[in-house]
Structure 1
Amino acid sequence: MAQDISLGEDDKWLAPIADSLRALAKDVRFNFHALPISQGASLHGTLCKEKYRKIFSEDVLKFETTVTGKHFDTFFFAESCIQKSEKMAAELFGANGTLFITAGTTAANQIALNALYKNGHKVLLDRNCHQSLHFSLNMLRAEVSYLTPNWSCHATGMRAWDVDALLANCLAAQESGAGFDLIILNAHSYDGLVHSIPRVLAHLLNNGVKTRNFLIDEAWGAANYFCDILSEHAALNIEELQESHPDLNIVVTHSSHKSLSCLRQASMVHYRGDGSVLEKLRISRFRLHTTSPSYPILASLDLARAQMQAEGWELRKEARHLAESFKHEIITNPQFQSLSIDLPMVPRSAASHVIHDPTKIPLNTERLAISTEEIKDYLFLHHGIYVNRITEKSMLLNFHIGITKEATVALLAALSDLLHQEGMSAQAVTSTDYIIPYPPGVPLIVPGDQITAETHREIDNIRKRGILVFNA
């Protein structure tokens, strides 16, 4: 659970890295080290300058610099603004320590794994974890057993595992003399299923599991620490458990840009446990992270932490409110009767430790005559609304803290327009023309034929194959 840090009004938005970079941008006039683009120096008098300016703005380039050491700080051996910001992040998320990563969560996962894994370790890996963990263990030639989800939702693609199956797996391995040295679990799926890691760990440790090193892939869950429903289930909320199991070590990776106000590739690695874990993480980061960390990404991590510290609970509350209002409109407004909300029906065996994120809305569209792929394209091409995840029957709507009331109203209006157009096309009309795919040049429709919704779908499918369809 995110800590309630009391700050004075002057300190409410304290951002050590961002503030230091602003000061640094005023001090540096010329840089004889590297990074020609710093402050836009290499663009003066070039034809590219205007395009750069339109994408990055001159202000952004001021903060792309290579100054290190006493004039700013050193990423790998921080003693100043970076160290202070990482400590503030650790305190906010309830960790014993936090490291910032500017090379993406693939690198964060590799760093965390490298710190916890030793040659010969036996590892239990949740199959729902990010591919980077699978690939890294494969390259390490680790002895891996898999935790396989035993429940899935066909409509949304959501999958979850049963904590008792996990417990049985762990105990069976111990009884065979090959207990797991490291257990790697996914805490929050892309689809919005949250495994309550505090409850899961308590169930394992209180029932005889001897493993004490856990790596938690909580990529999508950084904002959960500020949600009244999900914060108690966040992976770092294990203070009471550590009191009864002081030898417990847990490392958590956050793909911070997925749910906080960060630039892409902004990530954090948190840990709770003994001090040796932090030292191992620092060494691992030194070995695996790029030696050219992005200062804009660092600043965005710093500012995102400051924002959530100052108003994280309010931001998440508003996101949840917008999600609920959207869901209410879909359920109660007659014009949306052909749509529905596919909330997962989690089985009783998993209900104690699996929770659905209320800001992830699976919208069921299977009663429409067009596919989810076509709906996705329509929303983007005609309304500028982007949706990423679709299945055969539904599309996932993520009401993150960047979704506004204006965006929610626009989405509802776009869906209303889509349904109106589909209603119009569903009405059969009599053709007065020939409709001919070419090649082969054989009429699909001749004058007098009825053009139905099925006809439109057939024409769309023909065009997708690259065949020209024209009226004559």
Structure 2
Amino acid sequence: MNLQLKKKFPSIRDYYSATQLRADRWSALREAAEGLSRHRADSRQGKKLMTTAEHLFEVLAPIERYWAFPGIHAFEHLRRLLQLGNTGDLSTAVRRIARALTSGAYRRRSIPLSSDEIDNEDYEDEASLAPEARALGRPYFEVLIVDDVSESQERFLRQNLLRMRRVEDPFIYEPVIVPSLEDALIGVLFNYNVQAVVVRPGLSLKSKIELPILSQYLTRVSEAEEVDAIEPHEYGPVSCRLIEKIRPELDAYLVTDRSAEEIAGLDLGRCRRVFYNQEDFQELHLNVLRGVDRRYKSPFFTALKEYSKQPTGVFHAMPISRGKSISRSHWIQDMGAFYGSNIFLAETSATSGGLDSLLEPRGPIKEAQDMAARAFGAKHTFFATNGTSTCNKIVVQSVVRPGDIVLVDRDCHKSHHYGMVLAGASVVYMDSYPLHEHSMYGAVPLREIKHTLLQLLAAGKLDRVRMVLLTNCTFDGIVYNVQRVMEECLAIKKDLIFLWDEAWFAFARFDPTYRQRTAMGVANTLRQTLRTPEAKAAWEAQQEALKDADEAKWLDTRLVPPPDARVRAYATQSTHKTLTSLRQGSMIHVNDQDFKGEVEQAFHEAYMTHTSTSPNYQIIASLDVGRRQVELEGFEFVQKQIESAMSIRRAISDNPLLQKYFRVLTAGDMIPEPFRESGVDAYYDPDHGWADTWHMWREDEFVLDPTRVTLAVGGTGWDGDTFKTKILMDKYGIQINKTSRNTVLFMTNIGTTRSSVAYLIEVLVEIANELDELLDDASKMERRSFDNRVSALIEHVPPLPDFSRFHDAFRAGAETPEGDIRTAFFLAYNEDYCDYIPADDALMQRLEAGEELVSTSFIIPYPPGFPILVPGQVISPEIMSFMRALDVSEIHGYREDLGLRVFTKEALQSVQK
């Protein structure tokens, strides 16, 4: 590429994904084609535009082979138009394609490319159409056919498959034909429109593509699979298995000339049907539609819609049912106008008429939950209509018995702490590694977890250890190596239960990079690998090597679980936080080999305890539809979500003005080097472009979720809470949740658009410009004041305190750290046992002198939002110093007018008797 083109177009290495590259190159091609139609070919500008267009066609050529629209044949036709100098027809066709790609119009109707055909329909963005208009159309998808065929054979396949389409078909699709197994893998990773794959016997192994941004998709598979070693007769079955590994939601169909006996013993992944050496296009067509319809069904949402259409007489609770109490009102008509009629027509407390009971589901709710379990890789899934806080308490209460020891991430969500109180657990709080500079915690190192388990083993208490509870990913985006944690913990206690709080991680199932660090994904992997002869041999060899080894040796060794270890994993997810659901819509996913025999009855009782007998049917319906969405387009939306976050990273890192006041925290900033075995410290570097992060996600102890962009704002002179409230929200209408003393957190989600990303960058640039102007006009004293504020936020940040310990009154011995949080919690109900002490210098002096003061309650400052004190915990000088240094708007559990609430000596003595 010549120098002028380099200046005009960002380098391919500047793009995080090929989908971003494709979108921008089509936009650029449209501009070039329109320019060519206005300039003579032999003019200086015409020659320049011709060179640009030729380059764009060269870049797009390998990309377009993986998409049905506009299709490689139409693309090559456009290329010939350019070569023939037919710039008028080229401009028309490229403009229509570019607009259809941007708006999504090609999903709804055929796009005429010839200038002889009139195309008067508006190219509205799909998202801007009224829901009623979009609901009338048939959903569109693409079918990937893998077969190395000639052009005439390809035409034969395409025409015969399209000939099967009928007006009454519920969906419409277009075929994409690629020649090789590697092209199939690139296709399912690159083309999010693909919903089904047909693997035919004529496929080859290797791809002929030479575009690095496409080749990188193969690295996701090549590290784990020896693709080059596959024999030709294995190409078809291996393709099906690898497709399931990459995108398990897809339907695969295998056309083969091998015998049924040979095929029956092979691992075909999620192959839904095998066709034996025949060209039965009608049967294939019907199977493809049936497979997609299987995911498209939403049984409870459908039942609720049907119920809303029924004429009924309401003689039960809920005056709002059918909207009667609103339609008859003279004073609340605005509520009916705002919400519309359907929401009230679907309101009922009845469980008849095709509906179901959430507490005892046997109909559409049960079916919807089973479909959610399939989608998320669980054995059982349960819906919740009052948030993940309740889900956490349900799981804890169902698996933990009074006196059981539970290892808990100390800065986890407060619902877990209250769950420990309700269950009567003996709690061992484990500290996450601190990020003092930014007043936030990371995650609990595996070495800390192993050390705690080995300490309990040495004390003879391992039999009482019931569960490990960890947050994955954390609010700030720290993601555990879930498989490594589970394997090494099971190596110490083989029936350990794991509760992974995935409140912010529900979307992770639908991206192959993320999936390997999810609870359900790892549980399914372990179920397969633990029973293999290789796993047994590895465990036996390690047991021999660790015979008579001390704790240090165990801590330094990557432990192997025994082959008879039990896989017992639970995940709680806030569907409403990261996927499509009404607020408080959450799910509990279960992958526990002992659930049926040991937990099911207790789970049912805990579910009954915490679930309302009047659940919101609209929330249940939204969970059902949200599941449908992610099974059909979760891969696409998560891909775009990640791309949006990466665009924010690059835009800020490449902008010198923004770098003066802001800095995106990298993995190197948020994860200490010992936990980053790959050595990768940033997703994007202005000097080197994008890092290859696949190895990092496979091996590192912790990784940073790229969809969370933590922005250091201390350089502006505003603390995180002020920047969030006074600047972003009040002035610019940008909403965020999480802040620390000197950072704010931007989270992209499946609803984030490129426009919203652009607006964010515009706002940050405007803020930076205003700060520049302010400082340019500042007096010497004003400048000093600004510098002092910045210094206080960046350099003088109070260190984060570790968990001190439970008071001896709430412990069963000094050799292990577990504490009876339930006894401490309820002891505080007696006001005579409690006292208040002002949080002043006198209190600090008493603590530094060694006096033991014990908290009666949870003390939770917002931000950072984690409990710095729990009931029964000894108050340390470090905790008190941190609390006094915080400049936050609220501290839950603390009354400023009275001070800290602590136990009296008499209270502690009453417990120790």
TM category (shorter chain) comes to: 0.7 to 0.9
Give the match for residue 366 of structure 1.
714
d(CA) in 2 for partners of 1:370 and 1:129? 27
Query: What is the CA-CA distance between 1:128 and the residue it aligns to?
Result: 2.9
d(CA) in 1 for partners of 2:786 and 2:322? 54
Matched ranges for 1:311-460 at <5 A: 311-338=633-660, 339-345=662-668, 346-351=671-676, 352-376=700-724, 377-428=726-777, 452=782
d(CA) in 2 for partners of 1:350 and 1:279? 40
Give % identity: 26
Secondary structure of 1:98 counterpart = strand
Equivalent AA in structure 1 for residue 758 of structure 2: V
Given that residues 183 and 211 in structure 1 are in contact (C-alpha distance below 8 angstroms), is that contact kept between their aligned partners in structure 2? no
- Equivalenced residues, count: 440
Secondary structure of 1:181 counterpart = strand
Secondary structure of 1:160 counterpart = coil
CA deviation profile, 1:178-210 (whole Å, cap 9, x unmatched): 1112222222111111112222101222x3234
Which of 1 and 2 has greater Rg?
2
Task: Give TM-score scaled by structure 2 length.
Answer: 0.46
d(CA) in 2 for partners of 1:422 and 1:18? 51
Given that residues 363 and 394 in structure 1 are in contact (C-alpha distance below 8 angstroms), is that contact kept between their aligned partners in structure 2? yes
d(CA) in 2 for partners of 1:109 and 1:320? 27
Partner of residue 4 from structure 1, selected from 241, 249, 254: 249
d(CA) in 1 for partners of 2:654 and 2:666? 16
Query: What is the CA-CA distance between 1:151 and the residue it aligns to?
Result: 3.9
CA deviation profile, 1:19-45 (whole Å, cap 9, x unmatched): 110000001433111111122210124
d(CA) in 2 for partners of 1:78 and 1:318? 35
Give the match for residue 454 of structure 2.
171
Partner of residue 390 from structure 2, selected from 98, 107, 110: 107
Given that residues 124 and 147 in structure 1 are in contact (C-alpha distance below 8 angstroms), is that contact kept between their aligned partners in structure 2? yes
Give the match for residue 465 of structure 1.
none
Per the alignment, do residues 353 and 411 of structure 1 end up closer, same or farther by CA in structure 2, a change over 3 Å counting? Answer: same
d(CA) in 1 for partners of 2:441 and 2:350? 46
Partner of residue 589 from structure 2, selected from 270, 278, 282: 270
CA deviation profile, 1:26-66 (whole Å, cap 9, x unmatched): 01433111111122210124244333135433222222211
Q: In the alignment, is residue 281 of structure 1 matched against residue 606 of structure 2?
A: no
Equivalent AA in structure 1 for residue 710 of structure 2: P
Per the alignment, do residues 166 and 28 of structure 1 end up closer, same or farther by CA in structure 2, a change over 3 Å counting? Answer: farther
Per the alignment, do residues 67 and 3 of structure 1 end up closer, same or farther by CA in structure 2, a change over 3 Å counting? Answer: farther
Query: What is the CA-CA distance between 1:111 and the residue it aligns to?
Result: 0.9
Give the match for residue 184 of structure 1.
469
Per the alignment, do residues 391 and 79 of structure 1 end up closer, same or farther by CA in structure 2, a change over 3 Å counting? Answer: same
Give the match for residue 31 of structure 1.
314
Larger deviation: 29-38 or 420-429?
Answer: 420-429
Give the match for residue 793 of structure 2.
none
Per the alignment, do residues 375 and 247 of structure 1 end up closer, same or farther by CA in structure 2, a change over 3 Å counting? Answer: closer
Give the match for residue 579 of structure 2.
260
Given that residues 3 and 93 in structure 1 are in contact (C-alpha distance below 8 angstroms), is that contact kept between their aligned partners in structure 2? no
d(CA) in 1 for partners of 2:504 and 2:326? 38
Larger deviation: 316-325 or 218-227?
Answer: 218-227
Give the match for residue 224 of structure 1.
508
Larger deviation: 343-352 or 16-25?
Answer: 343-352
Give the match for residue 488 of structure 2.
203
Given that residues 187 and 218 in structure 1 are in contact (C-alpha distance below 8 angstroms), is that contact kept between their aligned partners in structure 2? yes
Given that residues 401 and 425 in structure 2 are in contact (C-alpha distance below 8 angstroms), is that contact kept between their aligned partners in structure 1? no
Per the alignment, do residues 53 and 456 of structure 1 end up closer, same or farther by CA in structure 2, a change over 3 Å counting? Answer: farther
Given that residues 711 and 743 in structure 2 are in contact (C-alpha distance below 8 angstroms), is that contact kept between their aligned partners in structure 1? yes
d(CA) in 1 for partners of 2:336 and 2:785? 48
Query: What is the CA-CA distance between 1:364 and the residue it aligns to?
Result: 1.6
Equivalent AA in structure 1 for residue 410 of structure 2: R
Given that residues 434 and 440 in structure 2 are in contact (C-alpha distance below 8 angstroms), is that contact kept between their aligned partners in structure 1? no
d(CA) in 2 for partners of 1:45 and 1:232? 55
d(CA) in 1 for partners of 2:353 and 2:323? 24
Per the alignment, do residues 426 and 57 of structure 1 end up closer, same or farther by CA in structure 2, a change over 3 Å counting? Answer: farther
CA deviation profile, 1:441-469 (whole Å, cap 9, x unmatched): xxxxxxxx8894667999xxxxxxxxxxx
Secondary structure of 2:492 counterpart = coil
Equivalent AA in structure 2 for residue 215 of structure 1: L
Higher relative contact order (CA 8 A, sep 6+): 1
d(CA) in 1 for partners of 2:353 and 2:369? 18
Give the match for residue 625 of structure 2.
303
| Structure holding more helix per residue | 2
Equivalent AA in structure 2 for residue 336 of structure 1: L
Per the alignment, do residues 251 and 369 of structure 1 end up closer, same or farther by CA in structure 2, a change over 3 Å counting? Answer: closer
Given that residues 430 and 449 in structure 2 are in contact (C-alpha distance below 8 angstroms), is that contact kept between their aligned partners in structure 1? yes
Partner of residue 119 from structure 1, selected from 399, 402, 405: 402
Give the match for residue 443 of structure 1.
none
Per the alignment, do residues 28 and 216 of structure 1 end up closer, same or farther by CA in structure 2, a change over 3 Å counting? Answer: farther
Given that residues 428 and 451 in structure 1 are in contact (C-alpha distance below 8 angstroms), is that contact kept between their aligned partners in structure 2? no
Given that residues 396 and 423 in structure 2 are in contact (C-alpha distance below 8 angstroms), is that contact kept between their aligned partners in structure 1? no
d(CA) in 1 for partners of 2:432 and 2:717? 32
Equivalent AA in structure 1 for residue 711 of structure 2: L
d(CA) in 2 for partners of 1:156 and 1:342? 13
Given that residues 489 and 496 in structure 2 are in contact (C-alpha distance below 8 angstroms), is that contact kept between their aligned partners in structure 1? no
Given that residues 161 and 350 in structure 1 are in contact (C-alpha distance below 8 angstroms), is that contact kept between their aligned partners in structure 2? no
Partner of residue 155 from structure 1, selected from 424, 433, 438: 438
Query: What is the CA-CA distance between 1:280 and the residue it aligns to?
Result: 3.3
Per the alignment, do residues 188 and 353 of structure 1 end up closer, same or farther by CA in structure 2, a change over 3 Å counting? Answer: same
- The two structures, once aligned, show a CA RMSD in angstroms of 2.5
CA deviation profile, 1:304-344 (whole Å, cap 9, x unmatched): 11110001011010011111111111011233222211123
d(CA) in 2 for partners of 1:456 and 1:261? 43
Given that residues 330 and 336 in structure 1 are in contact (C-alpha distance below 8 angstroms), is that contact kept between their aligned partners in structure 2? yes
Per the alignment, do residues 317 and 228 of structure 1 end up closer, same or farther by CA in structure 2, a change over 3 Å counting? Answer: same
Equivalent AA in structure 2 for residue 56 of structure 1: Y
Given that residues 468 and 498 in structure 2 are in contact (C-alpha distance below 8 angstroms), is that contact kept between their aligned partners in structure 1? yes
Q: In the alignment, is residue 80 of structure 1 matched against residue 363 of structure 2?
A: yes
Query: What is the CA-CA distance between 1:246 and the residue it aligns to?
Result: 5.5
d(CA) in 2 for partners of 1:383 and 1:33? 47
Partner of residue 375 from structure 2, selected from 78, 92, 95: 92
Given that residues 401 and 424 in structure 2 are in contact (C-alpha distance below 8 angstroms), is that contact kept between their aligned partners in structure 1? no
Q: In the alignment, is residue 212 of structure 1 matched against residue 496 of structure 2?
A: yes
Per the alignment, do residues 146 and 67 of structure 1 end up closer, same or farther by CA in structure 2, a change over 3 Å counting? Answer: same
d(CA) in 1 for partners of 2:445 and 2:425? 24
Give the match for residue 49 of structure 1.
332
Given that residues 714 and 743 in structure 2 are in contact (C-alpha distance below 8 angstroms), is that contact kept between their aligned partners in structure 1? yes
Given that residues 128 and 189 in structure 1 are in contact (C-alpha distance below 8 angstroms), is that contact kept between their aligned partners in structure 2? no
Query: What is the CA-CA distance between 1:242 and the residue it aligns to?
Result: 2.7
d(CA) in 1 for partners of 2:386 and 2:717? 43
